[in-house]
Copies of this chain bind each other. A is one copy, B any other.
Amino acid sequence: MTAETHWTLTLVCEDRPGIVHAISGAVVDAGGNITESAQFSSHDTGTFFMRLQVVSEADRGAFEAALAPVVARYGMTWKLDVVGRPLRTLVLASKAAHCVNDLLFRQRAGQLPVEIPLILANHPDLEGLAEFYGVPFEHRAVVGADLKAAFERRILEVVEQEDIELVVLARYMQILSPELCAALGGRAINIHHSFLPGFKGANPYRQAHARGVKLIGATAHFVTSDLDEGPIIEQNVVRVDHTRSANDLVAIGQDEESRTLTQAVRWFAEDRVLLDGARTIVFR
């Protein structure tokens, strides 16, 4: 007698008629019941996206066997996962605590299905925070090209040794090499501040203050070699006014960064974020 498992199933393929019927047939064959379903047909790329939650007594082997003919027929990219399984997550950090603190607090509070085998940082400042939350912390200086390359090799080493599924740049203030961006494609999330209008160059908060913007915010996006231009996962803004100093804007912006990054990580860990070319499909 088998206990029930709560599965997440995500599917991406070329959009054609009959997909839902074929997939729901495979679910029936696996003795499953669909408890949550979301789908989207992208007109831009002609791609079909689906995310299901299924309760079933089938084990992984039986479920995959039922799915096999369908995913083959439609040429699907697919992932079968267990709801709530903690995602293996590597956190990259520098000096700023706000994003790391929010991730760790919510992870411990049971609000973020990740497990963090390591925080890898190019500054030692967050060691005490990591220790409090019982998360291993490793500090490696990044000064000069050699140390930078060594740091990046260490990232890839951890990703492999620790079966890392997601790399989170929690205000990690180094630009990743194009090679590393490619190696982590679709599984690395970054956070940056956002303004209306956008500002180029150094010290954007100072520029935002000088222009008297009334909204500041943050954008969480996938890492690509095109700096700060990867597919957007989540964005938030808050209202500010003329009484705010440039330093105030920094503090306010940090709050937005924290909550925006945590939200993006949560959705990714729940298999709710899929890539559609330069866009994301987020099945909230």
Contact = CB atoms under 8 A, between A and B. Distances in A.
B212 A235 contact: no
A232 interface: yes
B196 A242 contact: no
B210 A278 contact: yes
Nearest to A259: B255
A280 B212 contact: yes
A27 to B, nearest CB: 7
Interface stretch (A17-25, A73-81, A153-161, A174-182): A17-25
B241 A284 contact: yes
Interface string A6-37: 00000000001111110011011001111111
A271 interface: no
Interface of A: 16-21, 24-25, 27-28, 31-44, 97-98, 101, 105, 109, 111, 128, 132, 194-198, 209-215, 217, 219, 228-229, 231-237, 241-243, 245, 251, 276, 278-282, 284
